[in-house]
Amino acid sequence: MAYQALYRVWRPQTFSDVIGQGVITQTLKNAVASKMTSHAYLFSGPRGTGKTSCAKILAKAVNCLNPHDGEPCNECEICQAANENRLNDVIEIDAASNNGVEEIRDIRDKVKYAPTEAKFKVYIIDEVHMLSQGAFNALLKTLEEPPANVMFILATTEPQKIPATIISRTQSFTFRRISKQDILDRMVYILKDKNIDYDEEALNIIAASAEGGMRDALSILDQALSYGDDHLTLTNAQEVTGALSNEQITAYMSAIAKNESAQALESLYKILESGRSAIRFTEMIIRVCRNLILYNSNSDLSDQMDNTIMTKDLLDLADKFDNQRLFYIVDQVSSAQRNLKNSNQTDVYMEILTVKISEPQVMDQTDVKDKADNQEVEKLSGQVKKLQSEIKNLSTGNVQVQQELPKKKSRKAKGSNHLNKTAIYKVLDNATKKDLAVAKDIWPDLMSKLSVTQRAKMRVADPVAASVDGIVVAFDFELWFEQVQEDTEFLDELKSNAGTLLKKDCEIVLVPKDQWPRIRKEYISNNIDLPNKDKVESKAEPKKDPAVDEALNLFGNEIVDIKDD
């Protein structure tokens, strides 16, 4: 038999085999066991997280002749036919190549016919977001009222492109990125089953490169095993993934720490000549900086370091970097990454980046602004002293000072020029604990959608308030707040991803954490629940006329018509 890729050989055959999606698989098992399955499902999430596998398992489970607690037996003739892709009643359709109205109309015409072998006719439509608008319209009625023996399972990586009318007619399940530990455990299980020796550091590199996708992890593992002749070593994994070796990143960061541009460029050239990916290189720099920041924190945060890349030599560099410079390096690398994605001149951008971050004097924009303001204040103070001296020397006669004292420039609080209080107050107007709980619940998924650089910036941020249409996010460090606030492209991506997860439009408002208590207190004090009703009514009362009062005294509180002369 021809060789099959690992991800095909080890494709889950039962719900219990699916990795990292426990809530979804348990829900589907219970539905099958209780015979309460829906007529339509929507599986959405990143690639390689188990959407199609779960769809195939569900198709088997509802048709299995001997199901056990909602799981297919994989032994009856129906299960075996499904495993061998010869069950005619399970129809898989690739929407990317069958996205027209005619294909969907063909489905609509055929659903009325009963299954030939199984109990249910199951349609699995992969990448359903690729359907045209006309195809969605053709599918709509069938999806809403299919025959009793028909089930639709839609799978997609981009649920935001699916019309709301389709989503509302399905049971929707969002698949999350698989954790690094779950990917590691699965790869170890496979390698032990195949009696293959491996290096743990190599598995860590593969798991990090997979970015939460089990299929990607197994594909990379397959490639590394082929490269190393069925033996997984650290070198093999680094060559296949384009990851840097510990020696390469240590040499580069040592040169940066010593402010030696020439030596840093020499290390850069060796890294690029070895065929390493420039993107992987920049991601590694950010990961090292992130770990050094945690290490320098002298707190419990140091326990969250990625020990797989932080060798003793790298930790010894911690004393040579303060957090301000590490933040600066991360900022410069992030800017370089954006340029690398849109240019073929990767060498040039990496050279410029290396020279920038190896400069001995590092000053961020905030420090430059503060220094300029201080110089301006000193200059104005000197002018004031000079004018005061001239006034003393003037005679006390009719001579008047014609020159006005210059006004000192008022300085806003640091970061206040970026703060959008109006948007914050708008969220607080309708904020609830329930909305905040929902925001915190989707936060890990929102972070998983970001790039490594973006996640590094957002690690010090958390939701602190939320309403139905907005989330207030507080940053531990004001420098990170300002960088994200100024990056409109990144903010738009955050809003888009949050809207996808919440299935509605969502505003993301940023605030420094040290200013959050004051802003919240101001909001509360401005919106204290005084007897507002009485206040409004008292404002609406007309002025009392003395003549009317006298008439009331004479004639009582009966209805009195007041007529002007």
Where residue 157 sits, what CATH number does that domain have? Answer: 3.40.50.300
Task: Please determine, for residue 563, whether its predicted confidence score (pLDDT) is greater than 80.
Answer: no
Judge whether residue 64 has pLDDT over 90.
Answer: yes
What total number of domains does the chain contain? 4
Q: Judge if 124 and 12 occupy the same domain.
A: yes
What's the whole-number average pLDDT of the chain? 81
Percentage, residues of the chain above pLDDT 90? 27
Question: Is 51 within the bounds of a domain?
Answer: yes
Same domain, 79 and 219: no
Q: 252 and 216: one domain?
A: no
* Residues 53 and 129 placed together within one structural domain of the fold: yes
- For residue 324, tell me if it sits in a domain: yes
Give 84: exposed, middle or buried? Use CB within 10 Å, 0-12, 13-18, 19+: exposed
**Does 53 lie in the same domain as 165?**
yes
Confidence of residue 548 (pLDDT cuts 50, 70, 90): low
Pair (250, 212) in one structural domain: no
CATH number of the domain that residue 222 is part of: 1.10.8.60
Q: Is the pLDDT of residue 300 over 70?
A: no
**Residues 296, 24: Cα–Cα separation, whole Å:** 40
Mean per-residue pLDDT for 534-552?
48
The last residue of a domain, from among 195, 213, 241: 241
Whole-number pLDDT of residue 191? 92
pLDDT value, residue 532: 43
User: Is 540 inside any structural domain?
Assistant: no
Q: Between the CA of residue 207 and those of 177, 275, 448, what are the distances in Å?
A: 12, 21, 14
Query: Does residue 496 lie in a domain region?
Result: yes
Looking at the structure, do residues 193 and 323 belong to the same domain, yes or no? no
45 with 149, same domain: the answer is yes
Name the amino acid, one letter, at 556.
Answer: G
On whether both 207 and 274 belong to a single domain, the answer is no
pLDDT, tens only, 431-490: 898 889 998 988 888 888 887 677 777 878 899 999 988 999 998 888 778 888 888 888
Q: Give 465's Cβ-side CA count (13 Å radius).
A: 20
Q: What is the CATH number of the domain that holds 278?
A: 1.20.272.10
My answer on whether 170 and 260 are in the same domain is no
Q: Please give the average per-residue pLDDT across 426-433, as a whole number.
A: 89
The answer to the question of residue 397 being in a domain is: no
pTM: 0.59
How far apart are the C-alpha atoms of 62 and 122, rounded to whole Å?
A: 9
Q: Which of 157, 174, 191 is the last residue of a domain?
A: 174
Domain housing 201: 180-241
Question: Best-predicted range by mean pLDDT among 229-243, 378-392, 420-434?
Answer: 420-434
> How many Cα atoms are found within 13 Å in the side-chain-facing hemisphere of 11?
15
Opening angle at CA 534, ends 530 and 536, nearest 5: 95
Helix intervals (H) in 43-132: 51-63, 77-83, 101-110
Q: What is the pLDDT of residue 156?
A: 94
Same domain? 117 vs 235? no
Residue 370 has pLDDT above 60, yes or no: no
Q: How many CA atoms lie within 13 A of 93 on its CB side?
A: 21
Asked whether residue 410 carries a pLDDT value surpassing 50, the answer given is: no
CA 337-290-358 angle, to 5 degrees, is: 60
The pLDDT value recorded for residue 534 is: 39
DSSP secondary structure letters along 505-550 = --EEEEEETTTHHHHHHHHHHHT----HHHHHHHHHPPPPPHHHHH
**The pLDDT of residue 493:** 87
- Do both 215 and 97 map to the same domain? no
Mean pLDDT across the stretch 393-404?
49
**Domain end marker among 241, 256, 284:** 241
Residue 113: inside a domain = yes
Residue at 380 is within a domain: no
The domain spanning residue 446 has which CATH number?
A: 3.30.300.180
Q: Lowest-pLDDT range, 92-96, 121-125, 414-418? A: 414-418
Residue 26 resides in a domain: yes
The Cα-based distances of 526 to 413, 432, 501, 510 in angstroms read 21, 18, 33, 21
